[in-house]
Amino acid sequence: MLVYRFLSGEDDSSFCHKITKALAEGWSLHGNPTYAYDAHAKKMRCGQAVTRAVPDQPYDPNKKLVDY
């Protein structure tokens, strides 16, 4: 099974650390990052999809994706 997550946050070093942590945990980048301006917060936001292959586990909608 392929597990998909979309990570998002303010465009700063903490977002880069979030992505780096996911990569260190075995997740892979999926597609290009996205950027958008949050007019309410007056800040740039970014997002990145990540995936991880999880063999021999059925999908459980009650399970947190990070727990796969």
Confidence band (pLDDT; 50, 70, 90) for 67?
A: confident
Instruction: Please enumerate in sequence order all residues whose Cβ is within 8 A of that of 16, keeping only pairs 6 or more positions apart, or say none.
Output: none
pTM score: 0.85
pLDDT > 90? residue 42: yes
Confidence band (pLDDT; 50, 70, 90) for 48?
A: very high
| Burial tier of 59 (Cβ tally within 10 Å: 0-12, 13-18, 19+) | exposed
